[in-house]
Amino acid sequence: MCENILMIDRSLFTVLIVDDEPDILELMVEEFRYIGYNTICASSGNQAVSILSSDKKINLVVSDYKMPDGNGMVVLNHVSSMNPKPFFFFVSGQADVSVDQAVKAGALKFFHKPFDLDVLIKDIESTIVPLCHCAIVPLCHCE
């Protein structure tokens, strides 16, 4: 018996990945692209703000918190002023902000490094599925 399962049409999403650690940035970009997302990357908060200020349509931001040249809170503050607002998630190994503070500031979730990238992506998707109906498609069409 088949269940009607909903999934994200990943090709409709552009993800901005922000991290000052080149290896982590590359790994995240490759994985998000591999599973079908469009990706853009930034190695600092200020670079991410510049990208977000451009004409590019960013739907989802996954940002490190602690970075030189503009931390993740700079990115989150900019995202909070946008309309429409991209979904925003923090990933960080060390941060000067608590998870509760990050969520109160507008982040949907805060993930701690090190993380399992597959689990992180599944958790992000399970968080945004109820919030984003336009990019949701049935996995199968059961009657």
Identify any residues that bridge with 106 across adjacent strands, giving them in sequence order.
none
Q: How far apart are CA 8 and CA 74, in angstroms?
A: 28
The tens-digit pLDDT sequence of the chain (143 residues) is: 444 455 788 998 999 999 999 999 999 999 999 999 999 999 999 999 999 999 779 999 999 999 999 999 999 999 999 998 999 999 988 766 777 888 888 999 999 888 899 999 999 999 998 877 555 444 444 44
Sign for the CA dihedral angle at 128, 129, 134, 136 comes to: positive
CA distances, 107 to each of 18, 85, 141 (Å):
14, 11, 34
